[in-house]
Amino acid sequence: MSDPIERPPAPWDYAPAPESREIVRLQDRYGLFIGGAFVEPKSGRFFATIDPSTEEPLAEVAEAGGEDVTRAVESAREAADAWQGLSGTERAKYLYRIARRLQERSREFAVLESMNGGKPIKESRDIDLPLAAAHFFYYAGWADKLGYAFGGRTPRPLGVAGQIIPWNFPILMAAWKLAPALAAGNTAVLKPAETTPLTALLLGQVLQEAELPPGVVNIITGDGETGAALVDAAVDKIAFTGSTEVGKAIRRATAGSGKRLTLELGGKAANIVFEDAPLDQTVEGVVNGIFFNQGHVCCAGSRLLVQEPVFEVLLDKLKARLDTLRMGDPLDKNTDVGAINSKVQLDRIEALVASGVQEGAELYQPSCVLPERGFWFRPTLFTGVSQSHRIAREEIFGPVLSILTFRTPQEAVAKANNTPYGLSAGIWTEKGSRILWMAQQMRAGVVWANTFNRFDPASPFGGYKESGFGREGGVQGLAPYLALDQEAS
């Protein structure tokens, strides 16, 4: 060869591979799902819900006012006795039915989830929907086995659960909330997030198809005021997933009320890489840890702590990997990073990233082309980050990774735990004893070793410290929905 340097040939561009939207039949308007039927809101108000990747409106959704919230809670209350009165096996069968219908309609749900929330179809199709169905399956099996769950204690349902869920995993969070509540014999009022109401409303149809008794689940759409009204309503239990700020407000609002409360709040997880880590898989875990669902993940590994000897090599690998991420149409089957969920969230991410630059951290972004309309933010790495920077302390809830270094395991532990949050942590090392020691030291509710962002209905999830309290998933996830009377020993 005469030319000593070989240049890359023209790129291999993957042709667009959009999942069809045909499977989704949207209504122009959606009412509230109360008492087993979709009803007009007494508030008389509706709001538009959009596709964040195009800013195009998708439908109008009812905004539940105070009266509507009351009506939904009353509906749940009226249904409670009969629902509790059913045998566990009967309740289980309803939950199995819901799980099955969710599986059968999963493509439709996945497409709608990506349309309304901006997440890549490959995630909604391969993760959100299968997990949502799995949660109903898992807890269906508990409904007639509650007596075996907590030895020496007699379980009783609490009554009516008010459940407020976030916009990052709309249908999955609905499943996380409803499945254990219903299995435990409670009835529920579910309040989906303002920006992502559509799959929850579609779930209302599934509940009808499953012939779930009217009132056992009520779904009310609206904004933060609707949520606040639900917190104040005559419910026995509040389960909330969302920001720490709102979680604290709910804690204050329920002070002294005797309402049972579980909170699944924010995080600022450390993902810790030791020099002996399997680096190529670590890169995948780091990418999955922070860019999964555009970083709209409370347990995202948003602080990367790298042991100094492998800092350079890991950074090079990460940058190269970032360049391969495909950003764009959430419904394209090859999209890795979708749209930011809302303008509000985009503004917040942009402000925090600006603060990172201003505070002197070094920014890296791949040069991918962004669509003209919709809400987008490039996958972003920050190096030269110190613990005191805002981007190392505040939850960004976006595709932004802050990279810090450490020298010793003790330093890694100190830095990892040096946050008011405590939801999750990641550990990457080949040394078994170090994994177990690190896992022990982490003040976090979920520790992923040599993996990240894995979820399962059998696996309890929830935080330490300001990341909240209570667990969702597993046998431990039943406890927040039960009163447990001590039996005499």
Measured from the CB atom, the residue of 56 and 485 that comes closer to other proteins is: 485
Question: Taking CB under 8 A as the rule, does residue 320 contact other proteins?
Answer: yes
Q: Does 334 bind other proteins (CB under 8 A)?
A: yes
Site for other proteins in 409-428 (CB under 8 A): 420
Asked if 442 interacts with other proteins (CB under 8 A), we say yes
Q: Residue written as tokens 């990747």? A: 53
Choice between 75 and 424, CB closer to other proteins? 424
- Binding segment for other proteins among 55-63, 184-192, 349-357, 435-443 (CB under 8 A)? 435-443
| 234 vs 368 by CB, closer to other proteins | 368
Does the annotation mark 298 as catalytic? Answer: yes
Residues 460-489 that bind other proteins (CB under 8 A): 460-462, 464-469, 471, 474-476, 484-489
Would you count residue 254 as binding other proteins (CB under 8 A)?
A: yes
Between 325 and 363, name the residue whose CB sits nearer to other proteins.
Answer: 325
> Judged by CB, which is closer to other proteins: 29, or 454?
454
Number of other residues whose CB lies within 10 A of the CB of residue 433: 8
Q: Quick check: 172 binds other proteins (CB under 8 A)?
A: no
Structure tokens at 403: 């990279």
Site string for other proteins, 71-100 (x = CB under 8 A): ------------------------------
Site map 141..160 versus other proteins, x via CB under 8 A: ---------xxxx-------
Note whether 294 binds other proteins by CB under 8 A. no
Beta strands in 87-184 (DSSP E): 153-157, 160-164
**Which residue in 40, 56, 126, 347 binds other proteins (CB under 8 A)?**
126
Q: Beta 32-34 vs 153-157: how paired, if at all?
A: unpaired
Of 350 and 430, the one with the shorter C-beta distance to other proteins is 430
Pick the stretch among 110-118, 231-239, 254-262, 399-407 that binds other proteins (CB under 8 A): 254-262
Residues 6+ away with beta carbon under 8 Å from 296 = 119, 167, 168, 340, 341, 345, 397, 398
* Sheet with 187-191: strands ordered across: 37-39, 32-34, 217-219, 187-191, 160-164, 237-241, 260-264, 468-469
| Among the listed residues 144, 276, 359, 394, the single contact to other proteins using CB under 8 A | 276
Question: Where are the alpha helices (H) located in 192-278, listed in sequence order?
Answer: 198-209, 224-232, 244-253
Interface with other proteins (CB under 8 A), residue total 86
Q: Is 320 exposed, middle or buried (0-12, 13-18, 19+ CB in 10 A)?
A: exposed
Q: Where are the alpha helices (DSSP H) in 210-299?
A: 224-232, 244-253, 279-291
Out of 24, 219, 220, 449, which residue is the one contacting other proteins (CB under 8 A)? 449
CB closer to other proteins, 39 vs 249: 249
SS3 463: coil
Q: Do β-strands 260-264 and 468-469 pair in parallel, antiparallel, or remain unpaired?
A: antiparallel
Contact 190, 217 (CB under 8 A): yes
For every residue of 336-405, DSSP letters joined together read: SB---S-HHHHHHHHHHHHHHHHTTPEEE---PPPPSSS-----EEEES--TTSHHHHS---SSEEEEEE
Q: How many CA atoms lie within 13 A of 315 on its CB side?
A: 20
Candidate list 192, 285, 374, 409; residue touching other proteins; CB under 8 A? 285
Give yes or no for residue 9 binding other proteins (CB under 8 A).
Answer: yes
Which of 264, 395, 466, 472 is an active site residue?
264
Nearer to other proteins, 24 or 479 (CB): 479
- From the list 241-249, 301-309, 344-352, 369-377, the region that binds other proteins by CB under 8 A is 241-249
Site map 361..400 versus other proteins, x via CB under 8 A: ----------------------------------------
Our measurement of the distance from residue 206's CA atom to the centroid of its chain's CA atoms, rounded to an integer in Å, reads: 21
Q: Which of 263, 299, 300, 340 binds other proteins (CB under 8 A)?
A: 263
Nearer residue to other proteins within complex by CB, 27 or 324: 324
The distance of closest approach from Cβ of residue 82 to other proteins in the complex, given in angstroms and rounded to an integer, is: 26
How long is the chain? 489
Closest distance to other proteins from the beta carbon of 355 (Å): 23
Of residues 39, 234, 249, 363, which one binds other proteins by CB under 8 A? Answer: 249
* Helix 170-183 with 129-142: angle, nearest 10 deg: 0
DSSP letters, 39-108, are: E--TT--EEEEEETTTTEEEEEEE---HHHHHHHHHHHHHHHHHHHHS-HHHHHHHHHHHHHHHHHTHHH
Q: Which of 34-42, 71-79, 173-181, 320-328 is the region at the interface with other proteins (rule: CB under 8 A)?
A: 320-328
| Active-site residue, 245 included | no
Q: Give yes or no for a contact between 265 and 230, defined as CB atoms under 8 angstroms apart.
A: no
Between CA 383 and CA 280 the distance in angstroms is: 19
Rule CB under 8 A: say whether 451 interacts with other proteins.
Answer: yes
The residue annotated as part of the active site, out of 74, 123, 194, 298, is: 298
Active site residues: 264, 298
